[in-house]
Amino acid sequence: MKQLTNKDVNIAPQLDKACGLDMHKEKIVGFISCKDGSEQELMEFGTFTCELHKVKDWLQGNGVEHCLMESTGIYWMSLYTILTEVGITVTVANPTHIKQIPKRKTDRKDARWLCTLLLHGLVRASFMPTSEQRVLRDFCRSRLFYTRQQNKTQNRLWKILESNNIKLRSVISSIRTKTAMDIIRLLAVGVTDKVQLANCSRGRAKNKRDDMMLALEGTLEQHHKMQLQMLLQDFDHVQKQIDALEDIIGDIISKHYAVAFECLDTITGIAHKSAQTILSEAGKDMSRFPTADHFTAWCGLAPGNNESAGKRHDTSVKKGNRFLKTSIVSAAWAAVRVKDSYWHALFERMRKRMKAQKAIVAVARRILKVVYKTLETLTHYQEKGVAHYFDLQAKFTAFKRAGQLWPTTSA
């Protein structure tokens, strides 16, 4: 039987007075009430900044210290900042967890329902990052946006070359290499000498000079060259933005997260950008998550529960922080490619029983639990290798044959 703790049932104490705020793009509906139903008041406001300050004054005038709002879109952010600056405790909740009863939904009823939930402690607050973490998160997400934009530009460059039968991708592994970009820049300015173009080859591409000469025979016309020039300008501009963001993110990490960043960088598969993304999304304070399992569930890597009448049905992973999930899954792919590592052996074993995509999610979940322990203790991770994996397998088999429970361990 599972050992229960006091965290399994956690209901917040009732409040004497609270407010529910139903947020929309152009309207805010607020409802104030005491726990005995007295001193009720319903108000509607606009969403301009002056109206947001009226909401603050209204709450302070009624002596309200606690309010609840849904985290719908981005409309709640400005009001959250204004209210928290004056000491009002704002609870931001996931809309799917506090849905109003079907067929009884209006803006006024929503505000009343939110106030009722908050008064009786029946709402779970969402994860709210600190001010310094919000700044880091904004910059890291901006870098991701620009990186994706740059990838789209490079894919467009490749499409123009392929449509004119310039087969660079048949010779070079990726258009993102320096060799490919140097050749594209020369093609954009009208250079057609294949020898000059082939001289841009670097690394292993030098050994494919004959194939390179054949690949550069194309039908590039003048308007295609103009398109290449425009795309290269976009590429260079985005690269400058990415470089600027890299400098800013590096300064923030070194100022506020130096120790945590150094510890995360020791985990197999997690490089600089992955460590920066983890700190920007989850922060360095793991006390916000009761256990590592709560942390993986918040990220969206924990399996969902679907059990009825004693039967367990297949479910996908839960929804969670998609930015952190993407970064951890990418780190998991990097970790399993490291030969003679624990993660490589784990992935190869799991891939025999399930699809690779499902196995990599399971590996990513275990890596995230290691991240939790690393940030909680601020210690360096020690890669234990394949031998450790086979040793754990042997011990697990011995426990299973003896009919004993397997203790919880980590990689």
Q: What is the DSSP secondary-structure string of 134-147?
A: HHHHHHHHHHHHHH
Backbone angles phi, psi at 365, to 5 degrees: -65, -40
Distance from C-alpha of 133 to C-alpha of 257, rounded to nearest angstrom: 10
User: Looking at the structure, do residues 298 and 245 belong to the same domain, yes or no?
Assistant: no
Whether 1 is in a domain gets the answer: no
User: Looking at the structure, do residues 285 and 384 belong to the same domain, yes or no?
Assistant: yes
Higher per-residue confidence, 210 vs 399: 210
- pLDDT of res. 166: 87
User: Looking at the structure, do residues 275 and 390 belong to the same domain, yes or no?
Assistant: yes
User: Looking at the structure, do residues 362 and 378 belong to the same domain, yes or no?
Assistant: yes
User: Looking at the structure, do residues 88 and 152 belong to the same domain, yes or no?
Assistant: no
Mean pLDDT along residues 387-392? 77
Backbone angles phi, psi at 263, to 5 degrees: -70, -45
Distance from C-alpha of 192 to C-alpha of 312, rounded to nearest angstrom: 65
Which residues is 317 bridged to in the sheet? 303
* DSSP states along 23-78: E-SS-EEEEEEETTS-S-EEEEE-SSHHHHHHHHHHHHHTT--EEEEE--TTTHHH
- pLDDT of res. 1: 45
Question: If you search the block for the tokens 């639990």, which residue do you land on?
Answer: 369
Closest CA to 59 of 87, 38, 35, 23: 87
How many distinct structural domains can be found in the chain?
Answer: 3
User: Looking at the structure, do residues 362 and 231 belong to the same domain, yes or no?
Assistant: no
Q: Is the model's pTM score more than 0.75?
A: yes
User: Looking at the structure, do residues 272 and 387 belong to the same domain, yes or no?
Assistant: yes
User: Looking at the structure, do residues 287 and 377 belong to the same domain, yes or no?
Assistant: yes
Mean pLDDT along residues 376-405? 78
Eight-class DSSP state of 14: P
Distance from C-alpha of 189 to C-alpha of 226, rounded to nearest angstrom: 8
User: Looking at the structure, do residues 251 and 161 belong to the same domain, yes or no?
Assistant: yes
Judge contact between 184 and 232, C-beta under 8 A.
yes
CATH of the domain at 67: 3.30.420.40
- Domain boundary residue, one of 94, 119, 144: 119
User: Looking at the structure, do residues 362 and 229 belong to the same domain, yes or no?
Assistant: no
% the chain with pLDDT above 90? 45
Report whether pLDDT(279) > 80. Answer: yes
Distance from C-alpha of 196 to C-alpha of 232, rounded to nearest angstrom: 20
Q: Could you report the per-residue pLDDT of 296-333, keeping only the tens digit for each? A: 989 988 877 666 666 766 667 778 889 999 999 999 99
Which residues is 92 bridged to in the sheet? 69
User: Looking at the structure, do residues 365 and 278 belong to the same domain, yes or no?
Assistant: yes
Whether 408 is in a domain gets the answer: no
User: Looking at the structure, do residues 78 and 163 belong to the same domain, yes or no?
Assistant: no
Rg over CA atoms, the chain: 28
Residue 26 lies in domain: 17-119
- pLDDT of res. 228: 93
H/E run at residue 92: strand 89-93
Distance from C-alpha of 307 to C-alpha of 324, rounded to nearest angstrom: 28
